[in-house]
Amino acid sequence: MEENNNLQAGNQVEYSDDNIQTLEWWEHIRRRPGMYIGKLGDGTYADDGIYVLLKEVLDNAMDEYMMGYGKTINIIIEEGVVTIRDYGRGIPLGKVVDASSKMNTGGKYDSKAFKKSVGLNGVGIKAVNALSSYMLVQSFRDGETKAVEYNRAQILENPPLSTTQERNGTLVNFIPDEEIFKDYQFRDEYVESLLKNYVFLNSGLTIEYNGKKFYSKNGLVDLLNENMTSEPLYPIVHLQGEDIEVVLTHANQYGEEYYSFVNGQHTTQGGTHLSAFRESSAKVIKEYFNKNFEFADIRSGFIAAISVKVEEPVFESQTKTKLGSKDMGPNGPSVPKFIGDFIKKELDNYLHKHSEVADAMLKKILDSEKERKAIAGVTKLARERAKKANLHNKKLRDCRVHYSDSKGDNLEETCIFITEGDSASGSITQSRDPNFQAVFSLRGKPLNCFGLTKKVVYENEEFNLLQAALNIEDGLEELRYNKVIIATDADVDGMHIRLLIITFFLQFFPDLIKNNHVFILQTPLFRVRNKKETIYCYSEEERVAAIEKLKPNPEITRFKGLGEISPSEFKNFIGKDLRLDPVRMKKQDSVKEMLEFYMGKNTMERQNFIIDNLVVEEDI
């Protein structure tokens, strides 16, 4: 014991007064930006930090609108510079500096001024300030204006009040700091998707973005019509009440599809409100038909959106993607009771008044029940096989942390690589971070499952084990990885395997793609190096630039498959420099028509399309 104590004493790290540090608020945000805005990124993905900065400023403008002030918001984004002008009441002129540069300062602590605001912690605009190389905040109020300019949260200019002819409201102009957001670029598709959600949730609001207007007349009905990729089986049911709005329908597709919002915030990870809605809606439908339906049959093909307004909401992170509140407000009912009572009354009444909707809903549920019972025997055997299969040794090299039970920063990092072939699987397995990255190894090309029923998921060993590895048989609630990454060669065979895997997901688990969980791994096509430097190139343009940089006569290697890349090199491609292409679906992407064209038996039509769009690549 004494010897161990001596060893420990010898390894002690000095701990003195000098080790205690007090950071300024802006220093803490800049050192730990993930705590405030989630991940950083460069704008390639919808949840990258620059969009969170945009949203934090927009949320303040939206809070004004929700309180009844200002029906228009103007946004301009040019060359990475963001300008947002609302026409609300304007920040009180004597508090413009405090509101934009003092932590825990804001108007949202007073519930009378902002009863159902998105943010209550006074952090959002300060995070934008700290993470911007330049920010201007200017308030216009009753003929007077006050402006203040910052550089990384440090005041540049703080002129006195002056008179103005401008309408009341607030203008914020900021430039995300390129020291933090490397080579960033705002993408219209992500900005416009964000703005559409704002207007869908706030009928009557107009947002002008770079000259383009966004407006919604029918609220969540417009949202569902914008996002659905399957035709509804009956007209969208639209239910509204104080502090709650719900739309729902069924479509001929597998899985469930939900869009949930709290106080205008898109809660992509759901939360207490979505759980309560899923439970109560299925229960009401079951009781209406007075049949012993299983919830899984009721929810199969179910598409819905719910928006609630909660007083002083509690979110599970600063990025507010999951509601943690158990009550509607300090003196309000519980979230499950509020939503359950509303759905019980309004949905039940609706079904009694609209028999044609009830009949279509019943037919869909009976069809789902019939299919489930038809494969019940196969399902039971498949589950037993999946349990008996030693996934950790045969197909799945799992990671230690899982999406379904992880918290905080770990949430974004969990992923699974779907690979084909022993060499590629081996390289990724040896290179990965075993804490957050899992590997699932396919054996050859998967089956083309287009046009087949869900029975094939259980009969086909590859599909059965993949479904078990992801834990998605009963929906996405227990999905074990945030990102499902298809990692195949960039040749014809690799492309075919990608298409077959995507077909599997689109056919049976479309919500996996619609909820932005599926990606394609980008791996370099070339390695260009000399004795001093190595550059990996993902395109012909990058190859040419690398040759120009490393001249004269650098060594050029073309990678023909993942198996050719050594584990030591693979670490460069699946670590912090991981490049992913998201697999996304748009309104115009009809799953049925798309799969029919690419994976169906229309051989001549597809052959003519390929010939007409053929691009011949010259040998390098």
Closest CA to 210 of 54, 11, 49: 54
Please check whether residues 577 and 452 belong to one and the same domain: yes
147 lies in some domain: yes
Is residue 119 predicted with pLDDT exceeding 70? no
82-91, 337-346, 378-387, 435-444: least confident range: 378-387
Closest CA to 598 of 488, 520, 490, 502: 502
Confirm whether 39 is domain-assigned.
Answer: yes
- Among 55, 173, 66, 61, which Cα is nearest to 124's? 55
Pair 488, 540 in one domain: no
- Tell me the average pLDDT across 458-476: 87
Q: Is residue 602 part of a domain?
A: no
Read off the tokens for 212.
């383009």
Task: Tell whether 78 and 211 lie within a shared domain.
Answer: yes
Burial 306-330 (b: 16+ CB within 10 A, else e): bbbbbbbbebbbbbbbbbebebbbe
CATH code: domain of residue 469: 3.40.50.670
Q: Bridge-partner residues for 411, per DSSP?
A: none
pLDDT at 462 (0 to 100):
87
Is 620 inside a domain boundary? Answer: no
Domain match, 369 and 416 both: no
DSSP 133: E
Identify which has the larger pLDDT, 585 or 436. 436
* The pLDDT of residue 11: 55
494: nearest Cα among 456, 460, 523: 523
pLDDT score of 178 more than 90: yes
CATH code (residue 329): 3.30.230.10
> Where is average pLDDT lowest: 251-260, 410-419, 424-433, 600-609?
600-609
Query: What is the domain extent for residue 170?
Result: 27-215
* pLDDT at residue 402, rounded to an integer: 83
Q: Could you tell me what percent of the chain has a pLDDT over 90?
A: 40
The residues facing 239 across adjacent strands are 246
Percent residues over pLDDT 70 in the chain: 84
Between 210 and 569, the higher pLDDT residue: 210
What was the pLDDT predicted at 62? 86
pLDDT of residue 281: 96
Q: Is the pLDDT of residue 594 over 90?
A: no
Q: What is the mean pLDDT of residues 604-614?
A: 55
By mean pLDDT, which of 16-30, 332-346, 508-522 is the weakest?
A: 16-30
Between 272 and 320, whose confidence is greater?
A: 272
- State how far the alpha carbon of 554 is from the alpha carbons of 39, 337, 424, 432, 433, in Å: 36, 68, 27, 29, 31
**Model confidence band, residue 184 (pLDDT cutoffs 50, 70, 90):** very high
Amino acid identity at 211:
G
Tally Cβ neighbours within 10 Å of residue 169.
23
414's tokens: 């969990």
In angstroms, rounded to a whole number, what is the distance separating the alpha carbons of residues 532 and 515? Answer: 43
pLDDT (tens digit per residue) in 334-365: 999 999 999 999 999 999 999 999 999 999 99
The alpha carbons of the chain give a radius of gyration, in whole angstroms, of 27
- Per-residue pLDDT at 291 exceeds 70: yes
Type of residue found at 171:
L
Written as one letter, the residue type at 551 is: K
pLDDT (average), residues 369-380? 85
Please tell me the distance from the alpha carbon of residue 269 to that of residue 260, in angstroms, as a whole number: 9
Q: With beta carbons less than 8 A apart as the criterion, state whether 81 and 54 touch.
A: no
Using CA of residue 558, residue 564, residue 566, residue 571, what is the dihedral sign? positive
Enter the tokens of residue 233.
């089986």
Query: What is the structure's pLDDT at 426?
Result: 83
Choose from 45-49, 285-289, 418-422 the range with maximum mean pLDDT.
285-289
Interacting residues of 389 by C-beta distance below 8 A, sequence separation 6+: 395, 465, 468
**Residue 445: band (very low, low, confident or very high) from pLDDT cuts 50, 70, 90:** confident
Same domain for 96 and 211, yes or no, is yes
- Poorest-pLDDT segment among 120-129, 375-384, 480-489, 532-541: 120-129
Give the CA count within 13 Å in the CB-facing half-sphere of 472. Answer: 28
Average pLDDT over residues 160-183: 93
Work out the average pLDDT over 543-565.
86
In a domain, 599, yes or no: no
pLDDT, position 230: 84
Within a 10 A sphere around the Cβ of 304, how many other Cβ atoms? 23
Please indicate whether residue 199 or residue 619 has the higher confidence score (pLDDT). 199
Cα–Cα distance between 93 and 63 in angstroms, integer?
Answer: 18
Choose among 488, 503, 494: nearest CA to 447: 503
Last residue of a domain, one of 355, 373, 391: 373
Q: How far apart are CA 547 and CA 531, in angstroms?
A: 13
Q: Does the pLDDT value for residue 592 go beyond 70?
A: no
Tell me, yes or no, whether 45 and 121 share the same domain: yes
Whether residues 511 and 389 fall in one domain:
yes
Using the 3D structure, point to which of 215, 233, 257 is the last residue of a domain: 215
Residue 526 has which token pair? 């070339």
- For residues 421 and 512, membership in a common domain is answered with yes
Q: Where are the alpha helices (DSSP H) in 229-321?
A: 272-289, 295-299
- Number of other CB atoms surrounding residue 334 within 10 Å: 14
Let me know whether 444 and 584 are in one domain: yes
Q: Please indicate, yes or no, whether residues 381 and 496 belong to a single structural domain of this protein.
A: yes
In a domain? residue 488: yes
pLDDT at 3: 46
Q: Are residues 48 and 128 in the same domain?
A: yes
In a domain? residue 304: yes
Rounded-to-integer distance, Cα 393 and Cα 395, Å: 6
What whole-number distance in Å separates Cα of residue 180 and Cα of residue 172? Answer: 20
Tell me what pLDDT residue 619 has: 43
Rounded Cα distance between 52 and 85, Å, is 17
The answer to whether residue 83 scores a pLDDT higher than 80 is yes
pLDDT of residue 376: 81
d(CA 519, CA 569): 21
| CATH number of residue 51's parent domain | 3.30.565.10
CB 144 within 8 A of CB 163: yes
Q: How far apart are CA 436 and CA 443, in angstroms?
A: 23
> What distance in Å separates the CA atoms of residue 86 and residue 170, rounded to the nearest whole number?
5
| Last residue of one domain, picked from the residues 188, 215, 242 | 215
The answer to whether residue 250 sits within a structural domain is yes
- Of the two residues 187 and 620, the one the predictor is more confident about is 187
Please indicate whether residue 607 or residue 248 has the higher confidence score (pLDDT): 248
Residue 120: the pLDDT is 41
Q: What is the pTM of this model?
A: 0.78
If asked whether residues 280 and 227 sit together in one domain, one would say yes
**Contact present, 296 and 13 (Cβ < 8 Å):** no
Q: Report the length, in residues, of the chain.
A: 620
Strand partners, 207: 73, 214
Half-sphere exposure of 352 (CA within 13 A, CB side): 10
- The 3-state secondary structure of 532-598 reads CCEEEECCHHHHHHHHHHHCCCCEEEECCCHHHCCHHHHCCCCCCCCCEEECCCCCCCCHHHHHHHH
Residue with tokens 């054996």: 443
| Choice among 47-56, 280-289, 378-387, 602-611 with the minimum mean pLDDT | 602-611
- How many domains, in total, are found in the chain? 4
Instruction: Single out the residue of 380, 377, 469, 455 nearest to residue 417, CA to CA.
Output: 469
**Residue 616: pLDDT band by 50, 70, 90 thresholds?**
very low
Quick check: 189 pLDDT over 50? yes
pLDDT at residue 1 greater than cutoff 60? no
- The arithmetic mean of pLDDT across residues 189-215, rounded, is 93
Q: Has residue 615 got a pLDDT over 70?
A: no
Span 575-581, average pLDDT: 83
In 3-state terms, what secondary structure has residue 541?
A: helix
Residue 523, pLDDT > 70, answer yes
